[in-house]
Amino acid sequence: MNKAHLELCASDQWAEHVKTDVLPWVFEAVDVPDDLLEIGPGPGATTDLLRREIGHITAVESDAALAAQLAERFAADPGVEVHHADATALPFPDGRFTAAASFTMLHHVPSVELQDRLFAEVARVLRPGGVLFGTDSLDGPGFRRLHEGDICMPLDPLTLDDRLVRAGFAHIDLAVLSIGVRFIARKP
């Protein structure tokens, strides 16, 4: 993540957006999970907010420095465990989690194939009936400027439904909004 994008993801503005626009939608649409896998928390603004609602969060961050900072910040909180790991090869057993979340990070996965592998890994580690919910941004000039010098592989909302089905999900609820895409997918 480049410096400007990292600063945005750590900002009060981003935390307020998640608090007022994202989480109300999530908790209206799904039962509050008791054991959540958070994929790509970055600096942890979403983790801070999710922790207020969820009993246990396992955060998986691929950036070693961000994972270390997050682990240090939550070291005294038994409800959050942080792993430096690649979400395309999760170090957890099948059926471990009741839910998984991904907030505006999937475009940092460098290829469609790796994004699909991530979806399949999440499906593997969810229990039957488990749910994946998330958001991501839409492609556009401003979005591309924010990602200069950074990995940027935007999701195509027109193919996301089929990709999630191929990964093992069903009952997909997908909405394309002016600022991005949000989705809920359930493991049968």
At residue 49, the pLDDT reads 92
Q: Please give the CATH number for the structural domain made up of 3-186.
A: 3.40.50.150
In this prediction, residue 174 carries a pLDDT of: 95
d(CA 12, CA 7): 10
DSSP string of 118-154, one letter each residue? HHHHHHHHEEEEEEEEEEEEPPSHHHHHHTTTS----
Model pLDDT, residue 88? 98
d(CA 138, CA 45) in angstroms, rounded, equals 21
* pLDDT value at residue 27: 86
Residue 21, pLDDT score: 87
The residue with tokens 């195509």 is 156
pTM of the model: 0.93
pLDDT of amino acid 183 = 96
CB 103 within 8 Å of CB 48? no
User: Which residues touch 63 (CB under 8 Å, ≥6 apart)?
Assistant: 1, 42, 84
pLDDT per residue of the chain (188 residues) written in tens, 0 to 9: 777 777 778 888 888 888 898 888 888 888 888 999 999 999 999 999 999 999 999 999 999 999 999 999 999 999 999 999 999 999 999 999 999 999 999 999 999 999 999 999 999 999 999 999 999 999 988 888 888 888 889 999 999 999 999 999 999 999 999 879 999 999 99
